[in-house]
Structure 1
Amino acid sequence: MDPQGPVLIEGPVEIVRDDGTIARSDRFTVAICTCRRSRTYPWCDTSHRPRERTAPPPDDRNP
């Protein structure tokens, strides 16, 4: 288990946010964000995963 990863809960789920609004999901399994980096918070969008940088394309210019 990733300590920065989500908590999986069997749905449906209702979460009361700090501002009093309710977030609802009717899915069978719901991933709740624990890292607070998710753009879809309180739902996990895998923002906790490390990102690997891809190498830039090779320079194919001929002198």
Structure 2
Amino acid sequence: MSDGRSFDHPDIVLCPGGPMLLRGKHTLEDTDGVVHRTHRPVSAVCRCGKSATKPWCDGTHKLLPPKLRPS
């Protein structure tokens, strides 16, 4: 690519039964329209909807029965 980025790993990874991992700088908008920016090299975004720190993952998906975990 001409922008100089290396694509040895994806920027976004969906973890089976768990969060979405974002590598690098991203912004995301929650259901209330609030924009959140990533501040870490890798940020975990909740996909189960049960996190107490939404939009970020707090590990709650590990406590859910398998049928309620994100696929």
Report TM bin, short chain: 0.5 to 0.7
What does residue 46 of structure 1 align with?
59
Determine which structure has more spread, i.e. the larger CA radius of gyration: 1
Alignment of 1:10-49 (within 5 A): 10-49=23-62
Instruction: Give the deviation of 1:2 after TM superposition.
Output: 5.7
State the Cα RMSD in Å.
2.0
- The percentage of counterpart residues that share the same residue type is 37
Instruction: Give the TM-score taking structure 1 as reference length.
Output: 0.66
Structure 1 segments, 4+ long, off by >6 Å, are none
Structure 2 vs 1, CA of residues 2 and 26 (structure 1 numbering), >3 Å: closer, same or farther? closer
Amino acid at match of 1:49: K
Q: Which runs of 5 or more structure 1 residues have no equivalent in the other structure?
A: 52-63
Amino acid at match of 2:28: I
Name the structure where helix makes up a greater proportion of residues: 2
Unmatched runs of 5 consecutive residues or more in structure 2: 1-13, 65-71
Report how many aligned residue pairs link the two structures.
Answer: 51
